[in-house]
Amino acid sequence: MRFLLLFCATACFVPLGLGIKCYKCTSDNSDFCGDKFDAKKATVENCPTRNAHETCGYVEFEHNNKLATHRDCGGPYNDCNILLSSLSQTYHINSLTACKFCTGDLCNSATNLQVTGPIIFAVLSTVYMFL
């Protein structure tokens, strides 16, 4: 039984896959992507796998004097300037309000809670102590 718990605890730190899924939408052309995010209406994108550090991105920016939100694959760089440069090819951006990156499936939603490997490890360690 202890071997099984040790195996499960070790497995928490092994990546489940190289590619991740991210929500993809822009509030400028869809009302469900901004503050009132509706995951059921957003497109789910399978991010291209360039390396094991793929991320999801969340950006808020001012466009035509109104706040817009963009969610998409963030790439491996976690660089707001690169993401902003890409967006500026489509939108006239007045200012950047927020720029965040995350590393889990569908983590760029408004209310996503991620359970990470270290949290699972802590729970399994506690259970192990009482066996």
Domains parsed from the chain with CATH numbers: 19-108 (2.10.60.10)
Three-state SS for the chain is CHHHHHHHHHHCCCCCCCCCEEEEEECCCCCCCCCCCCCCCCEEEECCCCCCCCEEEEEEEEECCEEEEEEEEEECCCCHHHHHHHHCCCCCEEEEEEEEEECCCCCCCCCCCCCCHHHHHHHHHHHHHCC
Q: What tokens were used for 75?
A: 């790439």
Q: State the pLDDT at residue 60.
A: 93
Q: What is the pLDDT of residues 32-54, one digit of tens each?
A: 998 889 999 999 999 887 666 68
CA dihedral 116, 120, 125, 127 (to 10 degrees): 160
Q: What is the pLDDT of residues 68-113, one digit of tens each?
A: 999 998 876 678 888 888 888 988 888 899 999 998 899 998 654 3
Pairwise pLDDT comparison (79 vs 4), residue with the higher score: 79
Distance CA(72)–CA(25), nearest Å, equals: 7
